Amino acid sequence: MDMQNRPGGRTGSGPMASAADANVERRERLKQLAMEIIDLQKDPYFMINHLGTYECKLCLTLHTNEGSYLAHTQGKKHQQNLLRRKAREGKDLNAMMHMAKQNQPKPQKHKTIKIGRPGYKVTRTVENTSKVLYFELYYEDIQPGFIPKHRVMSAFEQKIEQPDKNYQYLIFAGEPYENISFKIPNQEIETQEGKFQPVWDKDKKIYSLRVQFREKKNNK
């Protein structure tokens, strides 16, 4: 058979390589490259069995020599199994981390034993036609280093009473006392310096607050 003048062949060249020949040549190149750069002693899936043949523990394949095994490691089957193993190990690691996180003891919140409401005194007065309220709260047994706090809450934030748009609430807090609130008119409060400034007397343990309501402007 004339291989030189077969269709597709060039004059002076050998016959065109078939697909099978090209695959064999590619595998041989990969094998040679792998033998140069891969250390089998560091391959966790490489094993020599009792028969003296080479075995891939990942793919469960047998090989007659190192070159055959190395060519296998560059093939599609081995690479796909590596990806599957990596994905499975990633899921297992995530699952273990999730279980470890769930098994960790939850930090216990420090619960303060309440000792009731603090004593208080409220004074109402008028200054320059503006309504003013003076609050004094007595925290004789307040926790060391703790400074009482206050905040204004709208009637629609609280869940104790039916909301009334004409009122708002002034709340005071100081551990270990229970919070105490006062129902005050829902008017704008003066927040300028000195008009809504709390004072904490740490020696007498008295928390004072002056609340001045802004005057309503009459519509002309």
Mean pLDDT of the chain: 81
Over 50: is that where the pLDDT of 1 sits? no
Assign domain 119-212 to a CATH class. Answer: mainly beta
Between residues 176 and 110, the one the model is more confident about = 176
Question: So what's the pLDDT on residue 180?
Answer: 93
Strands (E) in 67-205, as ranges, are: 119-127, 130-138, 149-154, 167-173, 180-185, 199-201
pTM of the model: 0.48
The pLDDT confidence band at residue 220, using thresholds 50, 70 and 90, is very low
Tokens of 115: 């000792």
Nearest to residue 119, comparing CAs of 104, 102, 150, 141? 141
DSSP track, 141-170? TPPTT---EEEEEETTT-SSS---TTEEEE
Helix, strand, coil tally for the chain in percent (to 5): 25, 25, 45
Between residues 96 and 55, the one the model is more confident about = 55
The pLDDT confidence band at residue 110, using thresholds 50, 70 and 90, is low
Q: What is the pLDDT of residues 11-24, one digit of tens each?
A: 555 555 576 777 77
Residues of the chain with CATH 2.60.40.2690: 119-212
